[in-house]
């Protein structure tokens, strides 16, 4: 297995390896949103979605979309593109609610 990994690595161009690095970094950003949400929920003893969740979603989503475009994967492009619309819309709701003096809007299931 190690030999196959080494052979794969050696067959990649520098640009391809950079894109693999971007993909791993993007996936890490994307994963961090769940870590942030889990920690915030544990502290509050209820399910909440902190603002940082949406920022990690957008950061990871943008980079994963770029990665999927570079790789030419239409399924991945569609999924990340649609997800970005949802993440930006949710962040808009959070910021608009705050600007209008509403609650923080972080409680899951909040009206």
pTM: 0.74
Q: Which two tokens stand for residue 17?
A: 């390896």
Q: Given a cut of 50, is residue 77 above it in pLDDT? A: yes
Q: Identify the pLDDT of residue 88.
A: 96
**What residues contact 59, with CB distance under 8 A and at least 6 apart?**
26, 29
Q: Identify the pLDDT of residue 103.
A: 62
Q: What's the whole-number average pLDDT of the chain?
A: 88
Place of tokens 């003096």: 101
Q: Which two tokens stand for residue 83?
A: 């997800």
Q: Identify the pLDDT of residue 109.
A: 44
Average pLDDT rounded to a whole number, residues 53-61: 93
Residue, of 30 and 89, whose pLDDT is higher: 89
């Amino acid at each position: 297995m190690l030999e196959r990994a080494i052979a794969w690595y050696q067959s990649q161009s520098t640009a391809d390896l950079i894109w693999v690095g971007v993909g791993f970094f993007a996936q890490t950003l994307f994963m961090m949103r769940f870590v942030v949400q889990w920690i915030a929920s544990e502290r509050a003893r209820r399910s909440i979605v902190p603002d940082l969740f949406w920022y990690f979603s957008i950061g990871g989503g943008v980079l994963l979309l770029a990665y999927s475009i570079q790789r030419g994967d239409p399924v991945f492009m569609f999924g990340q593109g649609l997800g970005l619309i949802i993440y930006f819309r949710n962040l808009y709701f959070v910021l608009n609610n705050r600007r209008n003096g509403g609650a923080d809007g972080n409680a899951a299931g909040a009206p």
